[in-house]
Amino acid sequence: MKIIMLGAPGAGKGTQAKRIAEKYAIPHISTGDIFRANIKNNTELGQKAKTYMDKGELVPDELVVDLIMDRFKEADCANGYVLDGFPRTIPQAEALDKALSANNESVDFAINVEVPDENIINRMSGRRACVGCGATYHIQFNPTKVEGICDACGEKLILRDDDKPETVKNRLSVYHDQTQPLIDYYSKKGILAEVDGTQSMEDVFNSIVNVLGK
Ligand code: AP5
């Protein structure tokens, strides 16, 4: 099964993609996580990506497309994947379609997790990310057992640089300009499912399972 998660920054794509990956035994591929791992390891790709990410801008399409095409070659992608944060522009979606159709394949579901802009700033300012394993929490909606410490690996939690309100505002504007048109793109292909992302995390997940099937 090949699934795309759509939605504004902070809509809950990553939270849900992790659970989808677990339930359907497919890898969770997050371009944001791949970039953050490269930044942490100070790779050339990480250095390039950081200049865009810190401003809330998108990393250029050619860098992202090459990266994702390489990731698809790995063995764990044989039965599909859940894509979180890719595609993010029409050219990225077209590159994905082209690569899949060369193997007579296509995307099965594009799930749009809908959350209004006014909820996003609160979500982002309360998000905390683990510096060790990348797990994400929310100080109000999904707190850790011990404040500031990751439940999964015991490392410390931080506020992502791009989760500061000014950068979030720019990310939202970039989302509306460049990523939101994908909703129409996948709707025209007949594979779009809309899910209300303002529900509890559990209810959002149940709505997604209703779309994907048990
Ligand atoms: P990326 O990491 O993909 O960021 P994003 O799309 O902005 O999404 P987020 O990870 O911020 O949010 P999310 O929707 O996953 O929400 P989450 O589940 O964490 O990308 C970062 C940057 O990398 C981009 O700005 C760009 O520069 C670059 N990039 C990445 N991919 C790219 C591409 N394809 N092309 C070009 N550039 C690219 O949830 C958010 C918070 O809310 C959490 O604290 C969570 O606990 C909480 N929460 C989740 N669900 C609920 C709920 N139902 N109720 C209450 N709280 C909830």
pLDDT in tens, 14-34: 999 999 999 999 999 999 999
Residue 173 Cα, ligand 1 centroid: separation in angstroms?
Answer: 14
Say what the pLDDT of residue 156 is. 97
Tell me the average pLDDT across 85-112. Answer: 97
Whole-model pTM: value is: 0.94
- Nearest residue (CA) to ligand 1, atom 29: 32
From 30, 35, 67, 158, mutation site for ligand 1 pocket: most ligand atoms within 8 A of C-beta: 35
Interatomic CA distance for residues 214 and 195, integer angstroms: 16
Choose, from 2, 36, 50, 88, the residue flagged as catalytic: 88
Interatomic CA distance for residues 123 and 46, integer angstroms: 25
Say what the pLDDT of residue 176 is. 97
Strand partners, 81: 2
φ, ψ at 122 (rounded to 5°): -65, -45
Q: Which residue has the tokens 């759509």?
A: 6
160 is catalytic: yes
Residue 10 Cα, ligand 1 centroid: separation in angstroms?
Answer: 4
127 is catalytic: yes
Q: Is 19 in the pocket of ligand 1 (CB under 6 A)?
A: no
71 is catalytic: no
Q: pLDDT class for 67, splitting at 50, 70, 90?
A: very high
Angle formed by the axes of helices 44-53 and 61-72, nearest 10°: 130
Q: Is 58 in the pocket of ligand 1 (CB under 6 A)?
A: yes
40 is catalytic: no
Average pLDDT over all residues of the chain: 95
- Ligand 1 atom at minimum distance from 68 CA: 34
Please give the biggest Cα pair distance in the chain: 49
- Nearest residue (CA) to ligand 1, atom 55: 141
Contacts of 112 (CB under 8 A, 6+ apart): 6, 7, 183, 186, 192, 193, 194, 195
Query: Strand pairing of 127-130 and 81-84?
Result: unpaired
Q: Is 12 in the pocket of ligand 1 (CB under 6 A)?
A: yes
For residue 128, give both structure tokens.
Answer: 């905390």
